Every structure is written in C-alpha cells, then in structure tokens.
Amino acid sequence: MSTFTKILVPLDGSATSKAALATALELAHGTGAQLRLLHCLDALVYLSGYEYGPALLDQARRDADRVLTEGLEICRAAGIDASSHLIDREGQRLGQSVAEEASQWKADLVVVGSHGRRGLGRVLLGSGAEQIIRFSKVPVLTVRGRAPDQDS
C-alpha cells in the first residue's frame, strides 16, 4: 500500500465535504501527510443578473474564505499541517480545477465527499465527485454522504 504524503481535499462547506476532511485527517494522522484544502468558485454560477451579480459574487468569495478558514482551524486543532487554496476562475469544470490543483501541488491522493444523489437530483445537479474521478491523474477516495432521500 502506498503512503500518501500530500492529500488534496476539495471543500464546499457541506456536511459531506466535512466528512471527507475528517477522513483525510485520519489518513494524515497515520502517514504524517500534508493536507491542501481547496475551494473552487465559478463566477458564472453566481452571476444571476446585472444588478445582483457582483454582490452575489462578493458574498460567494466571503463564503469560500469562511469554508477554507474553518477547514484550516480543524486541521490545526488536529495537529495536521495544512494549507488552503481558492480557485476563482470562470468556465472551468470542477473536475478540471481539482485535477489541475492536484497536479500543480503534486498531490498523491484526492479525498472528496460524494453527496450520493440519484435520479433527477443527479441529472440536475451533476456529480462533482464523478468529474474529479474522471479528470484526476492521482487516486481519488470518495467519502459517501447520506443521500437526501435517506431516513435519519
């Protein structure tokens, strides 16, 4: 089994991405790996109208900063070496952004949450984890979240 030394963890603030972070922390405790927390912001998603677009984009950037800061605090509390990176570019798919960051940072593992959507929800919302798996040149560990239709 390979020892992972650099683990990339895409975060979006969801419970599922927090579960992926917890899994990455467990791996890092066992291997001494560094973590890189990543948030991908696509401006096109937030530009809904001429008057409201810039304000929504500014809010999205503040939210992204909060997600990354909270993730770093969790890593530091766990005694794990971590850094963060925000990707803020238009028009690039999540999977491509994560794969490029993994390559540039020389990650040897990506740990990502999967929301487990099925049916129409998956068709409408897509699968970020699936994109990451498709584009990544390094192994991807998916941490399965609860599907929205599962009981508590």
Q: Tell me what pLDDT residue 119 has.
A: 43
Rounded Cα distance between 103 and 78, Å, is: 26
- pLDDT < 70 regions, the chain: 1-2, 42-53, 116-126, 145-152
Q: Tell me what pLDDT residue 56 has.
A: 78
Sign, CA dihedral 99-105-111-117, equals: negative
Q: Tell me what pLDDT residue 101 has.
A: 96
The neighbouring-strand residues paired with 64 are none
Amino acid at 14: S
Rounded Cα distance between 144 and 17, Å, is: 9
- The full set of domains in the chain, from first to last, is 6-144 (3.40.50.620)
Mean pLDDT taken over the chain:
83
Q: Tell me what pLDDT residue 92 has.
A: 75
